[in-house]
Structure 1
Amino acid sequence: MSAEFGGPSGRQGRISQWLRGRRPKQPAGDGGREGLLLAAAGAGLPLAPAAHPGIGYGCSCDRVGCPTPARHPVSFAWQTQSTTDRAQVERWARHQPEANFITATGMTHDVLDVPLEAGREALERLRLGGVEVGPVAESDDGRMLFFTLTRGTPEDEDEWWPCELDCHPETMDEHPGLRWHCRGSYVLVPPARLPGDTDRAVRWLAGHGPEHPLPDPLTLLETLTDACARHTADEPGHPAPAWPLRH
């Protein structure tokens, strides 16, 4: 009788199965979210917690009229706070389950940020040319993010310059529509949620996740610039503002 009770087809087995079925399920995607964040940190992308969408198109921060809702770090010390430490990223992800995350650029990597349609065109050309593109993310706010090696060299401070040099209007003729995020900047790292519709997000492009090595930005720059020039020519009078805005 005891063997039957403890067996997989016995009463105890049925009770255990029933109890397992009664346990509250974990929110969908939590494990995937943490895994993707750890993969990004493991690839050398320093992370820090960011705001998340509030009500409607709002932001979780307490700033009235936040100019970059759900797209900015939660701490003013984000540059020094950003880390690739697995244990710290795990703590943040578990203690702040709704938070987005940013990755600070100009430390180990830069990001070439282009209009979505221009990015798709460039990506196809790069693939046809046999160029190793590396990690690429798509954002539902109409941008594509190409993650590259940094052009800065931490050992030589003279080789660094801030992201603002690529964001001022006088630089837009050289790289129309392209924003080069380097020192002093950041971007949202997937998975991230955007304000508005519940499915608006920043996600890794299929086949271009953080497991791929970071390319030299100069191997992508000419193709991206050409695609951006055609894109901006199709939409005269609508220059893209520099992003992220200072918060």
Structure 2
Amino acid sequence: MDDTPAVPRQLSGARLLDTAVSYVQERHWEVLPGTWLEMSAGGAPRCSCASAACPAPGARPTSADWATRATRASGNGSEVRRMWTGRSRSSVLLPTGRTFDVPEVPESAGFHALARIERLEVRLGPVISTPTHRMAFFVLPGACAKVPRLLGALGRPPDALHLTGRGEGDWVAAPPTRMGTGGCTQWAGRPTAAHRWLPDVGEVLSPLACGREAAETRAVR
């Protein structure tokens, strides 16, 4: 029996492009075409970057100078379509540290935090759920520099939440980008008109800390 994992069905290039255009026109986010999944000569799935050790198969920038190639937040649909010309299967990446920062946490803590945020009626920005079981919360830029101090104020060490701060020089894979063979990124909290104004990281960090505690408590029961 062949145990070689199959490449998941590729998303429509038109769907990816249309989504990228909508992020620029409707959300005023910067976008960047990234890599995609393809089949190697041996029939195994691999990233289009061709690296066997690719850390983000099918969902990473295609060049080291990617930060200078992203659209402007004030860009338009024509600019996005030019960027996707000849690379219709490209993933949709969102540079961080410009329009927003993204604290990323394990999904167990993320889902608990979402429930707590809803109960507290805290203003929330868009939230991405990834096939790698992580959740990414959109907050105002500059968050990464604040996180260590804010965690200290909560009595938490820097690594307490298993939090990865994505700010200047980083990116997130936007829905519906496919990451590896695990599936697509999805919106756990969709971008809406209500999310036009993003929260400060301090507004979501306490619920995330409580969510981590709840996840740990549940795990030991």
**TM-score of the superposed pair, with normalisation by structure 1:** 0.68
Report how far residue 100 of structure 1 moved: 0.5
One-letter amino acid of the structure 2 residue matched with residue 193 of structure 1:
R
Aligned to 1:203: 186
**Larger deviation: 102-111 or 41-50?**
41-50
Q: Distance in 2 between matches of 1:142 and 1:126?
A: 20
50, 73, 80: which is aligned to 2:34? Answer: 50
One-letter amino acid of the structure 2 residue matched with residue 226 of structure 1:
C
66, 74, 91: which is aligned to 1:100? Answer: 91
Q: Distance in 2 between matches of 1:202 and 1:28?
A: 12
Report how far residue 181 of structure 1 moved: 0.9
Q: Distance in 1 between matches of 2:12 and 2:23?
A: 16
1:17-37 CA-partner distances (Å, limit 9, x unpaired): xxxxxxxxxx97555433322
Bigger Rg over Cα = 1
Report how far residue 201 of structure 1 moved: 0.2
Aligned to 2:163: 178
SS of the aligned residue for 1:172 comes to coil
Q: Distance in 2 between matches of 1:187 and 1:41?
A: 15
Report how far residue 193 of structure 1 moved: 0.7
One-letter amino acid of the structure 2 residue matched with residue 44 of structure 1:
H
Within-5 A mapping of 1:1-247:
29-42=12-25, 43-55=27-39, 56-83=44-71, 84=73, 85-86=75-76, 87-151=78-142, 171-173=158-160, 176-196=161-181, 200-205=183-188, 208-209=190-191, 211=193, 212-213=195-196, 214-231=198-215
- Closer/same/farther in 2, CA of residues 99 and 232 from structure 1, 3 Å limit: farther
SS of the aligned residue for 1:112 comes to strand
Q: Which runs of 5+ in 2 are unaligned?
A: 1-9, 148-156
Aligned to 1:14: none
Report how far residue 183 of structure 1 moved: 1.4
Q: Distance in 2 between matches of 1:129 and 1:228?
A: 17
1:179-220 CA-partner distances (Å, limit 9, x unpaired): 1211121111122012215xx001223x52265222222211
SS of the aligned residue for 1:103 comes to strand
Q: Distance in 1 between matches of 2:219 and 2:18?
A: 39
One-letter amino acid of the structure 1 residue matched with residue 107 of structure 2:
L
The 8 Å contact of residues 112 and 214 in structure 2, kept in 1 or not, is answered as no
SS of the aligned residue for 1:109 comes to coil
SS of the aligned residue for 1:97 comes to coil
The 8 Å contact of residues 37 and 191 in structure 1, kept in 2 or not, is answered as no
The 8 Å contact of residues 109 and 215 in structure 2, kept in 1 or not, is answered as yes
- Closer/same/farther in 2, CA of residues 63 and 125 from structure 1, 3 Å limit: same
**TM-score of the superposed pair, with normalisation by structure 2:** 0.75
The 8 Å contact of residues 35 and 90 in structure 2, kept in 1 or not, is answered as yes
Q: Distance in 1 between matches of 2:202 and 2:65?
A: 30
The 8 Å contact of residues 135 and 208 in structure 1, kept in 2 or not, is answered as yes
SS of the aligned residue for 2:186 comes to strand
- Closer/same/farther in 2, CA of residues 35 and 131 from structure 1, 3 Å limit: farther
SS of the aligned residue for 1:196 comes to coil
The 8 Å contact of residues 46 and 52 in structure 2, kept in 1 or not, is answered as no
- Closer/same/farther in 2, CA of residues 235 and 96 from structure 1, 3 Å limit: farther
SS of the aligned residue for 2:38 comes to coil
SS of the aligned residue for 2:16 comes to helix
Report how far residue 68 of structure 1 moved: 2.3
